[in-house]
Amino acid sequence: DILINNAGLAKGLNSSDDTKMEHWNEMVDTNCKGLMYVTRAVLPTMSKKNKGHIINIGSVAGTYPYFGGNIYGASKAFVHHFSLNLRADLADKNIRVTSLEPGAAETEFSIVRFDGDKDKAKKTYDGFEPIEAENIAEIVEFVINSPKNINLNRIEVMANNQTFAGFKFIKN
């Protein structure tokens, strides 16, 4: 009755003009296609039962761009919009859809991003207290247990000492 799509990875942190195409392909294959295929596999059963809940784990990177976030951010914007479109398609089937969009969370995410370089990954979180995996699990539990007559469309969560980026001005 519940699908939690938690597929997601980022590869590298380079500018779009200095990144590897295989990194872009891996992010699209995982973050978009993986989510699509798993969702499609469970939809017939949920539709037949006339109930279910799909929770797609996105990212604030789908809303707020940052340097080096290029395809990762675009793929997470896909997660957000795919969730909204699923909700529109499935509302008459009593299937709830939520896009959960965390900010900086200290998980294996940065280790994957930096190809296993644990020191580089650890530096990502130096100087602030990031979201923990347990925090996201608690939010997922809250979403699942929310009243059945409501749909939580989107939940965006950041660490208390993280905010969205400001404008960047390039001066000559």
State the catalytic residues.
72
Give yes or no for a contact between 103 and 162, defined as CB atoms under 8 angstroms apart: yes
Convert the pLDDT of each residue in 122-150 to its tens digit.
888 889 899 999 999 999 999 999 999 99
| pTM for the model | 0.92
Say how far apart CA 33 and CA 14 lie, in whole Å. 23
- Percentage of the chain beyond pLDDT 70 is 100
Label residue 165 by pLDDT band (50, 70, 90): confident
Say how far apart CA 52 and CA 4 lie, in whole Å. 11
Q: What is the mean pLDDT of residues 163-168?
A: 78
Convert the pLDDT of each residue in 35-55 to its tens digit.
999 999 999 999 999 999 999
Q: What is the DSSP letter of 160?
A: T
Say how far apart CA 18 and CA 165 lie, in whole Å. 22
Coil vs helix vs strand at 133: helix
Q: What is the mean pLDDT of residues 14-34?
A: 95
